[in-house]
């Protein structure tokens, strides 16, 4: 099974709500690179590289990395030698974890389709059939998010992650109070500062928000401040979750060594793919840190990969934030979306990533800015 062709599409999709994150706020549209790998016997696997400029790089950079630097290490090589391919890509090009994750996803999709197995099967077999779905409260217009919650909670959604630190602290406090007043303990509330606080003043702020009993507080301070993170983890009963402080296994070893977090956010675009994510979770499991299924601004292909990963990785037990396709993207490149039911993502049953994508669905579901191959 030799990979004969790699096609690339740099695409842009409109989104229906603004997202204020503290860093890299998003409005209007998101861009990403779609990868189609085909074998000579007519099978195609799909992957997606979805960088975000404040996390891993740019979509234009991923497109160029794939087209110019990674293509020779993929085309003409056997799909069944995936680990060798990943090692070649790492030797040929530093960073660009998003591009490498996209290639791996396409190869695993291809292998699954060839063997009639899902990617979760290839990763060890599923340990769960549904994944609790977290929606982010990140609209600059808080009233709009409250309206969404009033519709989502009765529909079975329980997990909500509030993007704190974007607005003044007293506004965050008022919003958290409004959420607890409206929904009580019926919602599982998480907070994500996206590095917004400075270590100097953070402890007071965190002790304040702690009274709303969040399940975890994510990345309160900039990524390099591991000692401050360790201080919060030691002082607060509420778990501290590392996102920007923990991209890959190297970061995770440091987080564990310095006790800088109680849990981690695992993102394919940060760590470079599903096999690397499982390697990270082996370390995290050993250290007793559960994982949370994070995402950048990924579309349906990358989120299907994340879904397959979590289905097959016991330690990623804190749910996922794969809400883009059903709640934010106005259209997507899948022929049909991965179903959500009762506030959870349903792990698809079909072979490969469990989704159907075609050139027609790509052209119909996104604006194509560039293509190659
Ligand atoms: Mg985060």
pLDDT at position 355 is 97
355 neighbors 348 (Cβ within 8 angstroms): yes
pLDDT at position 240 is 98
pLDDT at position 220 is 98
330 neighbors 16 (Cβ within 8 angstroms): yes
Higher pLDDT, 318 or 13: 318
Distance 241 CA to ligand 1 centre (A): 9
Tell me how far apart the alpha carbons of residues 132 and 103 are, in angstroms, rounded to a whole number.
27
The region of weakest confidence among 28-32, 39-43, 215-219, 283-287 is 28-32
Q: How confident is the model at residue 35 (pLDDT cuts 50, 70, 90)?
A: very high
**pLDDT higher than 90, residue 98:** yes
pLDDT at position 328 is 82
pLDDT at position 331 is 78
pLDDT digits 0-9 by tens, 154-197: 999 999 999 999 999 999 999 999 999 999 999 999 999 999 99
Mean pLDDT of the chain: 95
pLDDT digits 0-9 by tens, 226-239: 999 999 999 999 99
CATH 3.10.310.40 fits 122-346, yes or no: no
pLDDT at position 343 is 96
Distance 85 CA to ligand 1 centre (A): 30
pLDDT digits 0-9 by tens, 68-86: 999 999 999 999 999 999 9
CA atoms within 13 Å, Cβ hemisphere of 156: 9
Kindly state the percentage of the chain with pLDDT values over 90: 89
2's CB contacts (< 8 A; 6+ apart) are: 39, 40, 76, 77, 78, 79
Q: Report the topology of domain 2-116+357-372.
A: Enolase-like; domain 1 (3.30.390)
Distance 294 CA to ligand 1 centre (A): 7
The per-residue DSSP string of 173-215 comes to: HHHHHHHHHHHGGGSEEEEE-TT-S-HHHHHHHHHHHGGG--S
For residue 349, with 0-12 CB atoms within 10 Å meaning exposed, 13-18 middle and 19 or more buried, which class applies? exposed
pLDDT at position 21 is 63
**pLDDT higher than 90, residue 22:** no
34 neighbors 45 (Cβ within 8 angstroms): no
Distance 219 CA to ligand 1 centre (A): 7
Tell me how far apart the alpha carbons of residues 154 and 263 are, in angstroms, rounded to a whole number.
29
**pLDDT higher than 80, residue 11:** yes
Could you give the C-alpha distances from 111 to 129, 285, 308, in angstroms and in order?
21, 28, 14
**pLDDT higher than 90, residue 145:** yes
pLDDT at position 29 is 84
Distance 233 CA to ligand 1 centre (A): 17
Distance 322 CA to ligand 1 centre (A): 13
The one catalytic residue among 100, 161, 163, 267: 163
Q: Where are the domains of the chain?
A: 2-116+357-372, 122-346
Q: How confident is the model at residue 15 (pLDDT cuts 50, 70, 90)?
A: confident
Could you give the C-alpha distances from 13 to 88, 235, 360, 366, in angstroms and in order?
32, 43, 15, 5
Could you give the C-alpha distances from 123 to 276, 279, 338, in angstroms and in order?
11, 11, 19
pLDDT at position 361 is 93
Mean per-residue pLDDT for 346-363? 95
pLDDT at position 258 is 98
The region of weakest confidence among 14-28, 123-137, 220-234, 268-282 is 14-28
87's CB contacts (< 8 A; 6+ apart) are: none
Q: How confident is the model at residue 18 (pLDDT cuts 50, 70, 90)?
A: low
DSSP 339: P
CA atoms within 13 Å, Cβ hemisphere of 5: 12
Q: How confident is the model at residue 26 (pLDDT cuts 50, 70, 90)?
A: low
Q: In what order do the strands lie in the sheet with 344-346?
A: 130-132, 344-346, 340-341
End-to-end CA distance of the chain: give it in Å, rounded: 19
pLDDT at position 36 is 98
Higher pLDDT, 26 or 318: 318
pLDDT at position 23 is 61
Q: How confident is the model at residue 250 (pLDDT cuts 50, 70, 90)?
A: very high
Catalytic site residue 163?
Answer: yes
Catalytic site residue 331?
Answer: no
Rounded to 5°, angle at Cα 27 from 188 and 176: 25
Higher pLDDT, 359 or 316: 316
DSSP 171: H
pLDDT digits 0-9 by tens, 103-142: 999 999 999 999 999 999 999 999 999 999 999 999 989 9
């Amino acid at each position: 099974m030799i990979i004969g062709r790699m096609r690339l599409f740099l695409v842009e999709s409109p989104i229906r709500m603004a997202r204020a994150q503290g860093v890299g706020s998003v409005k209007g549209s998101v861009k990403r690179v779609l990868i189609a790998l085909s074998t000579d016997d007519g099978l195609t696997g799909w992957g997606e590289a979805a960088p975000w400029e404040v996390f891993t790089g740019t979509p234009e950079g991923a497109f160029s990395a794939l087209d110019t630097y990674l293509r020779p290490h993929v085309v003409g090589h056997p799909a069944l030698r995936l680990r060798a391919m990943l090692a070649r890509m790492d030797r040929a090009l530093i960073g660009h974890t998003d591009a490498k994750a996209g290639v791996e996803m396409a190869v695993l999709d291809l292998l699954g389709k060839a063997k009639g197995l899902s990617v979760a099967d290839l990763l060890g077999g599923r340990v769960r059939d549904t994944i609790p779905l977290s929606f982010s409260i990140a609209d600059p217009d808080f009233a709009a998010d409250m309206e969404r919650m009033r519709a989502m909670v009765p529909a079975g959604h329980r997990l909500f992650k509030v993007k704190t630190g974007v607005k003044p602290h007293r506004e965050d406090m008022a919003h958290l109070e409004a959420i607890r007043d409206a929904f009580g303990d019926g919602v599982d509330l998480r907070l994500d500062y996206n590095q917004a606080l400075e270590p100097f003043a953070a402890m007071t702020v965190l002790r304040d928000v702690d009274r709303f009993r969040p399940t975890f507080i994510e990345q309160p301070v900039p990524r390099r401040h591991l000692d401050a993170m360790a201080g919060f983890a030691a002082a607060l009963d509420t778990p501290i979750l590392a996102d920007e402080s923990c991209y890959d296994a190297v970061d995770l070893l440091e987080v564990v060594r310095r006790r800088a977090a109680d849990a981690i956010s695992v993102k394919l675009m940060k760590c470079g793919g599903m096999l690397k994510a499982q390697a990270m979770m082996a370390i995290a499991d050993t250290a007793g840190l559960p994982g949370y299924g994070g995402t950048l601004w990924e579309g349906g292909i990358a989120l299907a990969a994340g879904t397959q990963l979590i289905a097959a990785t016991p330690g990623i037990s804190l749910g996922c934030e794969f809400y883009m396709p059903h709640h934010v993207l106005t259209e997507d490149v899948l022929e049909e979306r991965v179903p959500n039911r009762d506030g959870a993502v349903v792990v698809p049953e079909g072979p490969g990533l469990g989704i159907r994508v075609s050139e027609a669905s790509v052209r119909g579901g996104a604006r194509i800015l560039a293509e190659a191959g």
